[in-house]
Amino acid sequence: MAPIPHTRRSLLGGSLAVPVGLALSGALAAPAFAAPTAAAAFTRSGRPSAPWGTQSGEITAHSATVWTRSDRPARMYAETSPSESFRYGVRRHGGPFLGPATDFTGTTTLRDLPPGQQIHYRVVLADPDDPRRTSEPVRGTFRTTPASRRHNVRFLWSGDLAGQGWGINPDLGGYRVFDEMRQRDPDFFLFSGDTIYADGPILASVPLRDGSIWRNITTEEKAKVAETLDEFRGNFRYNLLDRNLRDFNAQVPVLAQWDDHEVRNNWYPGQVIDDPRYTVRDVDTLASRARRAFGEYFPVTDLRGGRAEGRMYRVMRYGPLLDVFVLDMRTHRDPNSPGRQTVDPIGILGQEQLTWLKRELSRSRAMWKVIASDMPLGIVVADGTEDFEAVAQGDPGAPLGRELQIAELLRHIKHQRITGTLWLTADVHYTAANHYAPERAAFTDFAPFWEFVSGPIGAGGFPAGKLDATFGPETAYVQSAPLANMSPSENPPYYGEIQIDGESGELTVRLRRQSGGVLFTTSLQPGRVGQ
């Protein structure tokens, strides 16, 4: 297949085509966005502080994990209450020591919580040498998962933040889409990969097509591609300079997965990098450092400290109505290739993850089973001129390459009579609703299903990609940028919304755009095949 010119993946692997060494003399610092550095904060105060805010995640009916980062060594603890004012029912939960080994980040698990309730919490940092010297509390809230079907469930999803050189722009109010999403008060946010762009430097200013200038807040770690552990950590800290995101994190739990840009564009295990921007050419070394930083900056306890046993793929059970299966299409994949092989035991998931997914889908008793995929199934995503990055490879015939593994999974879902599955993804930098049906497909041994695409949440917008007919996709709706790498000011962010009605079980999907309302909506009925 001929290369597609000027795709989002061809622009320096995630950054604008501008000199990496450009001076940062125009770097911006605005109190509304910038959190103080640890050194600056240390000189101003004798008490610890947590200017990077707090996050929650791993929400269950009776527990949750909360996160923060200190500006210096400190002991973390948290208090919870059913009251926002903390006037009654206050409980204290111990936490870890926050030090340089984890970049002063840490999590603590809140236990013995009531199901289906709004929980208010406040994180406090204490000086390890003098516990009386404590920080101002950092407040947050979340809802525990419901124990019964009477509760409605609503969550949002999107991906791709600070990509292609479009960072925090104070002229636009920063990442304002997070404030809009916060006001929708979802139960949680599925962050569908590319949570950072470790391979995408952020420059102080970027010229736009109309002659105006896009301005970025910049940091030292975002001046080059990330190679060291500290540089990967700095990429996560960069996004937390935005107050909109910090306020969002304090109110909305995050369920985060990774894709390629947490490491570098289009990476796969064992790859040797051919890119003059890198001195570290072994992608596995970079991935190990990125994985550790990811675990330090999101409330995912199994990944903290670079634990080898921790898995990116996991399932979140959100009460009787919903299970979310978070996939990892990076760690276990085979190399990118033309995708024409007739046998492909590794595929894009690896055998172990595929076995896990089939088993857990079969065991699930939730009414709806969302498969959170960091890459789309039927959209052709090229990697260079001959290789392909996702599942589809442009051949509309019988499954080949990575399509073989997806065919096996879809066959399993049909034969095990697993109902209520739908796929959510981001990655391609536009929004779409694609329906897959065997009567349109070359491979027919599967039940019809939907795949909904959203994003970017704060990166370059790109035209819609082509569909591969192997699994019979048909586009019910699509909206995309007319030109490659349009800035978020020209092409505002997209995000999606899922709402499940507790009484009827009906699931409604809405594709949304910042300040643009609902672009597309459809409703699915529980237990039905072929929707």
Domains of the chain (ranges, CATH numbers): 60-143 (2.60.40.380), 153-524 (3.60.21.70)
User: Tell me, what's the pLDDT at 485?
Assistant: 97
Mean predicted confidence (pLDDT) in 151-174: 97
- Residue 97: strand pairing partners: 75
What's the rounded Cα separation, in Å, for the pair 494 and 453?
A: 9
Total number of residues shown for the chain: 531
10 Å CB burial of residue 467 (0-12, 13-18, 19+) is buried
What's the rounded Cα separation, in Å, for the pair 346 and 298?
A: 28
Is it the case that residue 28 has pLDDT exceeding 60? no
- The model's confidence at residue 471, banded by pLDDT at 50, 70 and 90, is very high
Question: Measuring CA to CA, how many Å separate 446 from each of 324, 359, 414, 432?
Answer: 21, 17, 5, 22
User: Tell me, what's the pLDDT at 305?
Assistant: 60
Mean predicted confidence (pLDDT) in 155-179: 98
Percent of the chain surpassing pLDDT 70:
90
Neighbours of 397 (CB within 10 A): 11
Q: Do the beta carbons of residue 387 and residue 375 sit within 8 Å?
A: no
User: Tell me, what's the pLDDT at 150?
Assistant: 83
Report the candidate in 367, 284, 370, 383 with the shortest Cα–Cα distance to residue 320: 367
Give this prediction's pTM.
Answer: 0.92
Per-residue pLDDT tens digits for 184-235: 999 999 999 999 999 999 999 999 999 999 999 999 999 999 999 999 999 9
10 Å CB burial of residue 92 (0-12, 13-18, 19+) is exposed
Question: Measuring CA to CA, how many Å separate 118 from each of 59, 69, 324, 493?
Answer: 12, 24, 21, 29
* End-to-end Cα, the chain, rounded Å: 33
Q: What angle do CA 436, 439, 442 make, to 5 degrees?
A: 80
User: SS3 letters for 107-170?
Assistant: EEEECCCCCCCEEEEEEEEEECCEEEEECCCEEEEEECCCCCCCCCEEEEEECCECCCCCCCCH
Is it the case that residue 257 has pLDDT exceeding 50? yes
**Bigger pLDDT: 50 vs 46:** 50
Q: Do the beta carbons of residue 465 and residue 381 sit within 8 Å?
A: yes
- The model's confidence at residue 148, banded by pLDDT at 50, 70 and 90, is confident
The single-letter DSSP state of residue 496 is: E
User: Tell me, what's the pLDDT at 307?
Assistant: 55
Is it the case that residue 480 has pLDDT exceeding 70? yes
Q: Do the beta carbons of residue 198 and residue 188 sit within 8 Å?
A: no
User: Tell me, what's the pLDDT at 529?
Assistant: 57
Q: What are phi and psi of 143, to 5 degrees?
A: -110, 130
Per-residue pLDDT tens digits for 489-507: 999 999 999 999 999 999 9
Residue 365 corresponds to which tokens in the numbers above?
């008793």
Mean predicted confidence (pLDDT) in 400-422: 98
- Residue 98: strand pairing partners: 74
What's the rounded Cα separation, in Å, for the pair 222 and 207?
A: 18
- Residue 495: strand pairing partners: 512
- Residue 456: strand pairing partners: none
The single-letter DSSP state of residue 55 is: E
Q: What angle do CA 79, 81, 85 make, to 5 degrees?
A: 100
**What residues have CB less than 8 Å from 527, skipping those under 6 apart?**
367, 419, 420, 505
Is it the case that residue 13 has pLDDT exceeding 90? no
Residue 518 CB-half CA count within 13 A: 10
Is it the case that residue 368 has pLDDT exceeding 50? yes
The single-letter DSSP state of residue 272 is: B
User: Tell me, what's the pLDDT at 11?
Assistant: 43
Mean predicted confidence (pLDDT) in 307-319: 83
Q: Do the beta carbons of residue 462 and residue 485 sit within 8 Å?
A: yes
- The model's confidence at residue 322, banded by pLDDT at 50, 70 and 90, is very high
Mean predicted confidence (pLDDT) in 277-287: 97
Neighbours of 393 (CB within 10 A): 24
- Residue 78: strand pairing partners: 93, 123
Mean predicted confidence (pLDDT) in 86-107: 96
**Bigger pLDDT: 301 vs 337:** 337
Per-residue pLDDT tens digits for 98-144: 999 999 999 999 999 999 999 999 999 999 999 899 999 999 999 99
- The model's confidence at residue 378, banded by pLDDT at 50, 70 and 90, is very high
- The model's confidence at residue 530, banded by pLDDT at 50, 70 and 90, is low
The helix-helix angle for 283-297 and 229-239 (nearest 10°) equals 40
Q: In 3-state terms, what secondary structure has residue 424?
A: strand
User: Tell me, what's the pLDDT at 309?
Assistant: 55
Mean predicted confidence (pLDDT) in 310-334: 95
Residue 259 corresponds to which tokens in the numbers above?
């894709």
What DSSP letter does each residue of 187-202 carry, written as one string?
SEEEEES--S-TT---
Question: Measuring CA to CA, how many Å separate 522 from each of 261, 498, 507, 508?
Answer: 31, 10, 8, 6
10 Å CB burial of residue 505 (0-12, 13-18, 19+) is middle
Residue 495 corresponds to which tokens in the numbers above?
């995000």
DSSP element (H, E) containing 433? strand 431-436
**What's the alpha-carbon Rg for the chain, to the nearest Å?**
22
Per-residue pLDDT tens digits for 260-274: 999 999 999 999 999
What is the pLDDT of the chain when averaged over all its residues? Answer: 91
What's the rounded Cα separation, in Å, for the pair 231 and 202?
A: 13
Q: Do the beta carbons of residue 297 and residue 289 sit within 8 Å?
A: no
